[in-house]
Amino acid sequence: MAVKNFVVGLFDDEAVLFPAVKKVRTAGYKLHDVYTPFPIHGLDHAMGLRETSLHTAGFIYGITGTTTALSFMSWVFNVDWPLNIGGKPHFPLPAFIPITFELTVLFAAVGMVMTFCYLCQLMPGVKKHIFHQRQTDDKFVMVIELTDKTNAQEVKNFLQANGAHDIEEQQAEAGWWFGRFDKDDEPYLRKVKTVNA
């Protein structure tokens, strides 16, 4: 949780945004994030984000579901309350398969959604600073974080040269805080001093 300084630039077109993102990285500026109205194919690679490990997490949740289903059902039908159902054995594996499958899918799906929300810091009641009102509407917003090594004016000129408009400097909370969706408040902004001014 820290309040930092940012330079924000707006783009109209993803064809302009893409080369700009690549140039930001070669220029060595610290890219905070790029906000787009829709998912852009390959932008994560251009931004240099690492490959997500969400699928590995999904696999682990999946096999957890498989073992939970199989072990619970075999415990119920063999140890806790053995019943004779249509003369079938007490460990009727084919009959267990559909439920095992369902529980595998359920665990994997729910687990992955929750992991995704955790990784993206999404939750009801969790708020984050919005750099521009139109970032989910029709504009592509690039946010560059200012460090003590970067000059704000230089970054602004850089964005200008690469096709951005409405470039401005913002001081904002970089992390998240608890708050109501209808109240526009940034508590940390008021209390805490900037770390990189």
Partner 1 sequence: MKDQFVVPARLKKTSFVLMGVGLLTLLIGLFAFKNENATRFWAGLLQNSSFFLLITLASTFFIAATTLAHGGWQIAFRRVPEAISMAVPVLAGILFLVVMILVFGGKDDIYHWVNLHHVHEDPVLTWKAPFLNKSFFTIATVLTLGLWIFFTIKLRNMSKEEDGWDLKPETGKKIIWRNTVVAGGFLAIFTLSVGSTTPWMWLMSIDAHWFSTMYSWYTFASTWVSGLALISLFVVYLKKNGYLPYVTEEHLHDLGKFLFAFSIFWTYLWFSQYMLIWYANMPEETAYFQPRVWGQWRPIFFLNLLINFITPLLFLMKRDTKRNYTAVVFIAIVIIAGHWLDFWQMVYPGTVKELQFPWYEMGLGLGFVGLIIYLVSINLTKAALVPKNHPYLKESIIHHT
**Which spans of this chain sit near partner 1 (rule: CB under 8 A)?**
41-42, 55, 59, 86, 94-95, 97-98
Q: How far is the CB of 12 from partner 1 (least distance, A)?
A: 23
Q: How far is the CB of 108 from partner 1 (least distance, A)?
A: 12
Distance CA 132, CA 169 (A): 12
Nearer to partner 1, 13 or 137 (CB): 13
Dihedral in degrees, nearest 10, Cα atoms 126, 130, 136, 141: -140
116, HSE (Cβ side, Cα atoms, 13 Å): 8
Q: How far is the CB of 175 from partner 1 (least distance, A)?
A: 31
Q: How far is the CB of 146 from partner 1 (least distance, A)?
A: 33
3-class SS letters over 112-171: HHHHHHHHCCCCCCEEECCCCCCCCCCCEEEEEECCCCCCHHHHHHHHHHCCCEEEEEEE
Tally Cβ neighbours within 10 Å of residue 9.
27
Nearer to partner 1, 18 or 177 (CB): 18
Nearer to partner 1, 97 or 110 (CB): 97
**Closest by CA position to 142, among listed 150, 131, 128, 151:** 131
Nearer to partner 1, 39 or 42 (CB): 42
Nearer to partner 1, 56 or 133 (CB): 56
Q: How far is the CB of 18 from partner 1 (least distance, A)?
A: 13
Nearer to partner 1, 49 or 122 (CB): 49
* Six token digits for residue 132: 């521009």
The backbone torsions φ and ψ at residue 2, rounded to the nearest 5 degrees and listed phi first, read -155, 145
Q: How far is the CB of 123 from partner 1 (least distance, A)?
A: 29
* Six token digits for residue 192: 């805490």
